[in-house]
Amino acid sequence: MKKKIRPLQGESYIKGTLPKGCKLCRRGAQLFFLISGKCSENCYYCSLTKDKRGEDIILANERPITNFSGVMLEKTNMNALGAAITGGDPLATIDLTIEYLTNMKKEFGEKFYIHLYTSGRFATEENLQKLSDAGLDEIRFHPQNRTQEKNIEKALFHNWTVGAEIPIIPNNKEKTLKFLDYLESLEFVKFCNFNELEATEANFENLTKRGFLLKTEDSSAVEGSEALALEILEETDYNFTLHYCSSLSKDAVQFRNRLLRTAKVVKKPFEEIQDGMLVKAVITPPNYAIPEEIVEALIEEYDIDQEMIFLRPDKKIETSWYIADVLKDVLFERYDLTNIDIVYEYPTYSRTMIAKGSLRELSLANDALKHSESKKEN
**Least confident stretch, 76-90, 112-126, 134-148, 334-348:** 334-348
Share of the chain above pLDDT 90, in %: 89
Closest to 97 (Cα-Cα) out of 108, 106, 86 = 86
pLDDT at 167: 98
Mean pLDDT, rounded, for 259-279: 96
pLDDT at 184: 98
Q: Binning pLDDT at 50, 70 and 90, where does residue 172 land?
A: very high
- Report phi then psi at 360, rounded to 5: -65, -45
pLDDT at 338: 84
Mean pLDDT, rounded, for 79-107: 98
pLDDT digits (tens, 9 = 90+) for 69-86: 999 999 999 999 999 999
pLDDT digits (tens, 9 = 90+) for 353-375: 999 999 888 765 455 444 455 55
Q: What is the DSSP string of 252-319?
A: IIIIHHHHHHHHHHH--TT-EEETTEEEEEEE---TTS-HHHHHHHHHHTS---GGGEEE-TTS-EEE
pLDDT at 315: 95
pLDDT at 217: 85
Q: Which residues have a Cβ under 8 Å from the Cβ of 278 and sit 6 or more positions away?
A: 263, 266, 267, 268, 271, 272, 344, 345, 346, 347
Q: Binning pLDDT at 50, 70 and 90, where does residue 2 land?
A: confident
pLDDT digits (tens, 9 = 90+) for 270-282: 999 999 999 999 9
pLDDT digits (tens, 9 = 90+) for 182-224: 999 999 999 999 999 999 999 999 999 999 999 988 889 999 9
pLDDT at 361: 81
Predicted TM-score of the model (pTM): 0.89
Mean pLDDT, rounded, for 120-132: 98
On average, the pLDDT of the chain sits at 94
pLDDT at 218: 85
> How long a stretch of residues is the chain?
378
CA–CA gap between residue 113 and residue 246 (Å, rounded): 23
Domains, the chain, ranges and CATH? 6-264 (3.20.20.70), 267-377 (no CATH)
CB of 354 closer than 8 Å to CB of 342: no
pLDDT at 360: 81
